[in-house]
């Protein structure tokens, strides 16, 4: 029985489907993903941008081809019933006698048996269960809609692939660029702690200016995404990477909405200014200063905050 085609509106079919997932979950527990596990994938070629504002395209993506992926690390340990995907960093190796390491990718793995299992009482409320295909399709659609922003505002995207896991279960895997840097959450934690501006001494002016510049970069990125009809719907510090050059990159579009009228994005997906509140949520004085600054910017005829 396919995990995509099960008739969950039928109590008997629902039980058969759940039993299948339980068996697959047991097999996955006996033979889980691990460092050093390999698989072979066909990566498509990616358009090369000559604009200097884009990050360099990884070597394996110039012409595409067949490569071996080797799992290196899982940034966050997977927890059943709390996460909908496994995320792994993988090295990309060329095939053949002389194997070369051509860079890294992020593998976002949606393995049906590891998702929250459907309850047998749900046959009358099947919409409470998140089907695996809805998870990968949402993010796949978003990255395709954002193709012109790949390598700049969002990661390069190398498509969705069906890959057999160690336990024999087929999983859908989204493969994207490995972006070096730290999350905005980590970036904020590394900033100097203080209760008032005077605690920063001579560094206060630079602190405020850095906050404004980062806020502006993030909002411009969000606006660029919204203009293409995509609403992120989960904009938080953990879903933004700050590159070594200080540029924000937005990822994790699992909850995104696509093909939306740009004029309706804010109404449906919230005000992006509010989504970046953690940037200046450090002390009352800075909160007020940044809020007033944003208000002044909004009043300008050609404000960068507006579409």
Domains and CATH numbers, the chain: 11-177 (3.30.200.20), 182-299 (1.10.510.10)
Residues 6+ apart with CB under 8 A from 141: 256, 258
pTM, rounded to two decimals = 0.89
Q: pLDDT grade, residue 197 (50/70/90)?
A: very high
Q: pLDDT grade, residue 208 (50/70/90)?
A: very high
Q: Which of 62, 73, 69, 58 is nearest to 91 (CA)?
A: 69
Q: Which residue has the higher pLDDT, 10 or 248?
A: 248
Flag the least confident range among 7-16, 27-36, 111-120: 7-16
Flag the least confident range among 61-70, 165-174, 255-264: 255-264
What is Dmax (Cα atoms) for the chain? 70
Q: What's the pLDDT tens digit per position in 213-226?
A: 998 899 889 889 98
pLDDT score, position 2: 55
Section 72-86 average pLDDT: 79
With a cut of 80, say whether residue 92 has pLDDT above it. yes
Q: Measured between alpha carbons, how far is 5 from 214 in angstroms, rounded to an integer?
A: 45
The DSSP letter of residue 9 is T
With a cut of 90, say whether residue 76 has pLDDT above it. no
Using the structure block, give the residue that is written with the tokens 């200063």: 289
Q: What's the pLDDT tens digit per position in 277-304?
A: 777 778 889 989 988 888 887 777 676 6
pLDDT score, position 307: 45
In three-state secondary structure terms, 67 is strand
Section 187-216 average pLDDT: 92
Average pLDDT in the chain: 87
State how far the alpha carbon of 63 is from the alpha carbons of 49, 53, 117, 302, 307, in Å.
14, 21, 40, 41, 36
Burial (Cβ within 10 Å: 0-12, 13-18, ≥19) of residue 147: middle
Structure tokens at 276: 């970046």
Question: Within the chain, where are the H helices?
Answer: 11-30, 59-63, 132-145, 184-189, 204-227, 265-269, 272-275, 284-299
Q: Which of 155, 294, 153, 276 is nearest to 214 (CA)?
A: 276
pLDDT score, position 130: 77
The H or E element spanning position 153 is none
Dihedral sign, Cα of residue 12, residue 17, residue 22, residue 26: positive
Residues 6+ apart with CB under 8 A from 270: 235
With a cut of 70, say whether residue 272 has pLDDT above it. no
With a cut of 70, say whether residue 124 has pLDDT above it. no
With a cut of 50, say whether residue 246 has pLDDT above it. yes
With a cut of 90, say whether residue 51 has pLDDT above it. no
Structure tokens at 293: 């600054």
């Amino acid at each position: 029985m396919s995990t995509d085609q099960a008739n969950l509106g039928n109590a008997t079919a629902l039980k058969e489907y759940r039993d299948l997932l339980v068996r697959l979950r047991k097999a996955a527990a006996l033979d889980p993903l691990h460092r050093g596990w390999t698989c072979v994938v066909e990566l498509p070629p990616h358009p090369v941008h000559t604009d200097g504002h884009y990050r360099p395209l990884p070597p394996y993506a110039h012409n595409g081809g067949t490569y071996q992926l080797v799992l290196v690390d899982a940034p966050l340990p997977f927890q059943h019933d709390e996460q909908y995907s496994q995320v792994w960093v993988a090295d990309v190796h060329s095939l053949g006698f002389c194997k070369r390491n051509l860079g890294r990718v992020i593998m976002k793995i949606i393995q049906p048996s590891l998702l929250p299992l459907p309850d047998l009482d749900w046959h009358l409320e099947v919409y409470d269960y998140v089907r695996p295909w809805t998870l990968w399709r949402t993010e796949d659609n978003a990255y395709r809609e954002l193709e012109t922003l790949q390598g700049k505002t969002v990661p390069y995207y190398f498509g969705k692939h069906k890959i057999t896991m160690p336990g024999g279960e087929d999983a859908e895997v989204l493969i994207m660029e490995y972006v070096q840097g730290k999350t905005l959450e980590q970036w904020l934690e590394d900033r100097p702690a203080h209760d008032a501006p005077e605690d920063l001494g001579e560094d206060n002016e630079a602190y405020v200016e850095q906050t404004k510049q980062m806020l502006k970069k993030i909002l411009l990125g969000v606006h660029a995404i919204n203009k293409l009809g995509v609403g992120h719907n989960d904009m938080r510090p953990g879903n933004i990477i700050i590159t070594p050059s200080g540029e924000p990159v937005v990822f994790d579009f699992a909850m995104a909405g696509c093909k939306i009228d740009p004029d309706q994005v804010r109404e449906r997906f919230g005000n992006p200014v509010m989504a970046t509140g953690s940037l200046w949520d450090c002390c009352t004085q800075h909160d007020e200063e940044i809020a007033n600054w944003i208000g002044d910017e909004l009043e300008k005829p050609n404000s960068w905050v507006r579409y």
